[in-house]
Amino acid sequence: AKKHKVTIIGSGNWGSTIAKMVAESTAEHSDLFERDVQMWVYEEDVQLDEKSKHYKKSSETSQGPQKLTHIINTFHENVKYLPGIALPHNVIANPSLTDSVKDSSILIFNLPHQFILGLCKQLRGHILPYARGISCIKGVNVHESSIGLFSETIGEELGIYCGALSGANIASEVAQEKFSETTVAYDPPPIDSQAPTPATSQGPSPVSSHVDLTQLAHKDVTGRPSKVKLRPLPQEYQAIDHTTIKKLFHRRYFHVRVVSDVAGVSLGGALKNVVAVAAGWVDGLGWGDNAKAAIMRVGLLEMREFGNRFFPHTVNPDTFTVESAGVADLITTCSGGRNHRCAMLSIREGKSIEEIEARELNGQKLQGAMTAHEVNTFLKSQKAEKDFPLLTAVHNILKGNGKAEDLPDLIEPSE
């Protein structure tokens, strides 16, 4: 059988960690996957620290800043976004987006959510039309009164099926091979395996008019019929099913549960980042564990209600309470996540969360504050702010219309 070639699109803290694990898996399952894993890197110049073990070796040829891709491919370490972690030599950093995805049948999207739409536009016409995707992105795609999941957005932008990976996965811990679990949601619609397979990856429209549309009765996350008309995988490949997905991500230290609830998994990952901002404020105020547990309890209820109300046809409410992508991710992000830490420091120092982000994160990006505003735009459009008091309070406080000290009153349900 033809082997699957895998590309990771994104190389931040989590992108590099996923690349490490996937490259370990492709080396292990050489019957299924090509060994080398492409990792698209948003190129930048990086100055190696004089104390870095790579500095002396590198300074023989260059004293100044060097391309991040060059550093990764030479020293097998992403010194900027995942310092101190050895990457397998079969992770190949590539600064060209279109070259990195060439001939790849599995695309893993792993970027801060604000960049994904622009990237999809650049990718159109350059991917295999029958490729399958997995989105590791935590965020939602809000446009005025509509809300979408990034797996859905990627799928529609590129004309492919895209699932989602999310869980209690603080990247630095996973990268150090400390045990964690994750949830992968993968549920492509059935397609007629006899439909003709396109020969090339050229052309912007991946839709084959020969595909039997009655086979595409799959619904997207909002219950509307999906706009994506999926191309079948050529027969020389092994199917990309739950077993293949598990082989790609599962490690001894990273346990994968594969489910079908793409909406629940994606919403859990997005909304918990907003709750983590409130949890960070409460810790910044020194209010203790009971107060933080109260925030997390209310947050979990609002996450589940959000799914039930706006994704009623597809969300499985149990995902929020049973899967790593729900309650476990909420707990870990409210304890050791970047959103929590920056929110906590912002209260302690009386500075904005953006100032703390710029100072503390060395180019890494917070998702919680932006998601709070995006979710609020959507809730306003639905006249539903009062039903989500915690999500609404986080937005208002970030905008300066309220104080973290008032959270206990603000999250009290309205009569």
Task: Determine phi and psi for 278, rounding to 5 degrees.
Answer: -65, -40
Could you identify the residue written with the tokens 């990237």? 119
Residue 110, interface with ligand NAD (CB under 6 A)? yes
Q: Does 339 bind ligand 13P (CB under 6 A)?
A: yes
Q: Which of ligand 13P, ligand NAD, none has residue 240 at its interface (CB below 5 to 8 Å by kind)?
A: none
- Residue 3 annotated to the active site: no
Question: Looking at the DSSP assignment, which residues form a beta bridge with residue 94?
Answer: 40
- Contact between 123 and 204 (Cβ < 8 Å): no
From candidates 338, 347, 372, 411, binder to ligand 13P by CB under 6 A: 338
- Determine, following the binding rule CB under 6 A, whether residue 135 of this chain makes contact with ligand 13P: no
Residue 284: name its binding partner from ligand 13P, ligand NAD, none (Cβ under 5 to 8 Å by kind): none
Which member of 4, 5, 7, 11 binds ligand NAD (CB under 6 A)? 11
Q: Can residue 364 be called a binding residue for ligand NAD (CB under 6 A)?
A: yes
What's phi and psi for 281, nearest 5 deg? -60, -45
Which residue among 35, 54, 365, 403 contacts ligand NAD (CB under 6 A)?
A: 365
Catalytic annotation, pick one of 20, 80, 229, 272 = 272
**How far apart (Å, rounded) are the C-alpha atoms in residues 163 and 136?**
9
Stretch that binds ligand 13P, among 44-52, 95-103, 105-113, 332-340 (CB under 6 A): 332-340
> Comparing C-alpha atoms, which of 263, 273, 335, 277 is closest to residue 306?
263
Residue 333, contacted partner among ligand 13P, ligand NAD, none, CB below 5-8 A by kind: ligand 13P
Identity of residue 42: Y
Binds ligand 13P (CB under 6 A): choice among 5, 20, 113, 138 = 138
Q: Which is nearer to ligand 13P, 129 or 337 (CB)?
A: 337
Of 54-62, 105-113, 333-341, 399-407, the segment contacting ligand 13P by CB under 6 A is 333-341
**Length of the chain (residues):** 415
Choose one: 53-61, 85-93, 165-173, 345-353; the region binding ligand 13P (CB under 6 A).
165-173
Q: Kindly give the pairing relationship between strand 140-143 and strand 146-149.
A: antiparallel
- Is residue 372 within 8 A of residue 391, CB to CB? The reply is yes
Residue selected from 33, 40, 42, 281 as contacting ligand NAD according to rule CB under 6 A: 42
Chain CA centroid to CA 132, Å? 16
Q: What is the DSSP string of 171-236?
A: HHHHHTT--EEEEEE--PPP--TTSPPPS---SS----TTS-GGGG--B-TTSSBPS--PPPPPTT
At residue 30's C-alpha, the angle toward residues 105 and 168, to 5°, is 70
Among 94, 332, 371, 392, binds ligand 13P (CB under 6 A): 332
Partner whose footprint covers residue 115, from ligand 13P, ligand NAD, none (CB < 5 to 8 Å by kind): ligand NAD
Q: Is 363 helix (H, G, I), strand (E, B) or coil?
A: coil
Q: In terms of CB distance, is 94 or 110 closer to ligand NAD?
A: 110
Rounded to whole angstroms, the Cα distance separating 304 from 318 reads 8
> In this chain, which of 111, 256, 300, 411 binds ligand NAD, going by CB under 6 A?
111
- The angle subtended at Cα 241 by Cα 240 and Cα 247, nearest 5°, is 85
By a kind-dependent CB cut-off of 5 to 8 A, residue 70 interacts, out of ligand 13P, ligand NAD, none, with none
343 binds, among ligand NAD, ligand 13P, none (CB under 5 to 8 A by kind): none
Asked whether the beta carbons of 77 and 71 are under 8 A apart, the reply is: yes
The two tokens of residue 67 are 């391309």
Binding string, residues 248-287; x marks residues near ligand 13P by CB under 6 A: -------------------------x--x-----------
Distance CA 164, CA 4 (A): 18
Give CA–CA dist 324/319, Å, rounded: 8
Which spans of this chain sit near ligand 13P (rule: CB under 6 A)? 138, 168-170, 273, 276, 329, 332-333, 337-339, 367
Residues that are catalytic: 272
Which spans of this chain sit near ligand NAD (rule: CB under 6 A)? 10-15, 42, 81, 110-113, 115, 136-139, 169-171, 364-365, 367
